[in-house]
Structure 1
Amino acid sequence: MYLQLTGTQVRLLGSMHLFPATSRRTPPWIADAYDWAEELVFESDPPTILPFLTAQSTNAAAPLSSVLPVDVWSQLQAVWPTEGPLAPLSTLRPWAALIVAPTLFQQVVEGVEPRLLRSAAAQGKPFRYLETAHDVANSLESIPLAAIADALALLMSDTTEPQRTLERMHDAWLHGDLQAVHHIAVESPMFNLPGIRDAILDARNRAWATRIHALLGRSERTLVVVGALHLCGPANLIDCLGVPAEPLF
């Protein structure tokens, strides 16, 4: 989960965006990576993505209610927050509902990125992002509506799956087992549906590889922090970079 790009001052850190609420500790290799780095690079800035979640943010929005079977729409509405930036459900773009819905059935605490960002802000350590909110929205907009409907139907048929998958994946992540993380992910219904993996992982990996290549000649020690799933499976970020990587953990 923590790798050195050979011959460069760039390292990759595979993160967990959320931790199970029962396992709040940050493993020591996260602190080691942070202390090594002179600059941090994260995926994107989550608060800037909020305006893109609603159907009003684009003229080509299909109402989520028209995408889902009636029973799935009713079940999802029944558990959706009635207040806050994600309410009401009817205003969200289909891909936004797909991304948010599993978290409704998870007991979690914040993961790696918010912790590192707080430390960087407090210590004046510079950081930047690999993509803009617009980039994220454009990628997720490519997910086929049929796949979104199928994924949400599968979720509502087994709402205990997101927590089980998170806990298994977190355990594999703590042990630095990328192969196990990948195996757990492909057992999740979401990643077996057409277009979802490409939009969430593969297409973004290809775009990020170009931006990370621009960092490889710098002398500053640079830590690139991305979700662990971006480092495993076909079309992973390491393969897209085409640079040998040495595991540090």
Structure 2
Amino acid sequence: MYLQLTGTQVRLLGSMHLFPATSRRTPPWIAEAYDWAEALVFESDPPTILPFLKTQSAKTAEPLSSLLSADAWQRLQTVWPTDGPLAPLSALRPWAALIVAPTLFQQVVEGVEPRLMRSALAQGKPFQYLETAQHVADSLESIPLEAVSAALALLMSDTSEPQRTLERMHDAWLLGDLQAVHRIAVESPMFNLPGIRTAILDARNRAWAARLKALLVRPERTLVVVGALHLCGPENLIDCLGASVEPVV
């Protein structure tokens, strides 16, 4: 979960973007990684994605309601925020609803990135991003509508699944067990639907690897912080980089 790219001044940190509300503990290797780093690299800047969540043209966008049964649509509307940047549900792009919906059924607190970013801002430690909000939106737009429909239907049939999966994954992550994190993820129904893993993980890993290669020659000690799932499974970031790694102990 905390890895050194051999022969470079770059390390990879597999993060959890959200923690279960009942387990706010940050493992010691997070602080150790932050203290080691002279510069940080994060995935993206979450607030900048908000303008991309909604359809730009109601005339050309397929209504989100058409992707779900009447019952599933009604149940999703019932729990959806009625104000703020996520409202109304009918205005969201299908992929945006897919990404946001599971979090409505989770009890969470902020994860690794906001904590590290606050420290970096307070201490003047430089940081940058691997992708822009446009990059993220373009990748997620590639998720097939059939997959969005199936995933949301599965979610509404078992709304307790996101919390169960998060808690199991967080327990494995605390132990630094990357294989267990991946195993738990692939047991989640949404993870196995065609196109979802490709858009959320694989395509972004390939793009990130191309951008990260420029960092491998930097003299600064650089910590790259990405979601733990980007470091495991087929087409993971390490494989895309074609680099050898060793655990930091």
Tell me which interval the TM-score lies in, with the shorter structure as reference length. Answer: over 0.9
- Greater Cα shift, 50-59 or 212-221: 50-59
Following TM superposition, where does structure 1 have runs of at least 4 consecutive aligned residues deviating by more than 3 angstroms? Answer: 57-60
TM-superposed CA distance for 1:167, in Å, is 0.2
Distance (Å, rounded) in 2 between the aligned partners of 1:129 and 1:57: 29
Judge conservation of contact 1:10–1:221 (CA < 8 Å) in 2: yes
Give ranges in structure 1 of 5+ residues lacking alignment: none
Q: Which amino acid aligns with 2:227?
A: G
Hey, what does 1:176 align to over in structure 2?
176
SS across alignment from 2:215 = coil
Q: CA RMSD in A?
A: 1.1
Give the partner amino acid of 1:53.
Answer: L
Matching residue's letter, 1:211: R
| Local SS of the residue matching 1:154 | helix
Amino acid paired to 2:110: E
1:60 Cα deviation from its structure 2 partner = 4.5
Partner of 2:102: 102
Q: Distance in 2 between matches of 1:60 and 1:111?
A: 36
Which whole-Å CA distance do the structure 1 matches of 2:151 and 2:115 have between them? 30
Correspondence 1:220 to 2:198: no
In structure 2, C-alpha distance between the alignment counterparts of 1:59 and 1:202, rounded to whole Å: 31
Partner of 1:5: 5
The aligned amino acid for 1:167 is E
Identity %: 83
Give the TM-score taking structure 2 as reference length: 0.98
Q: Name whichever of 55-64 and 35-44 sits farther off.
A: 55-64
Question: Residues 148-201 of structure 1, C-alpha deviation per residue, up to 9 Å, x if partnerless?
Answer: 000000000000000000000000000000100000000001111000000000
CA distance in 1, matches of 2:218, 2:10: 8
Q: 1:179, 1:57 → 2: CA distance?
A: 42
Structure 2 spans left out of the alignment, 5+ residues: none
For 2:192, the aligned partner's letter is N
Question: What one-letter code is carried by the residue in structure 2 that aligns with 1:109?
Answer: V
Aligned-pair CA distance for 1:57: 7.0
Cα distance in structure 2, aligned partners of 1:61 and 1:235: 31
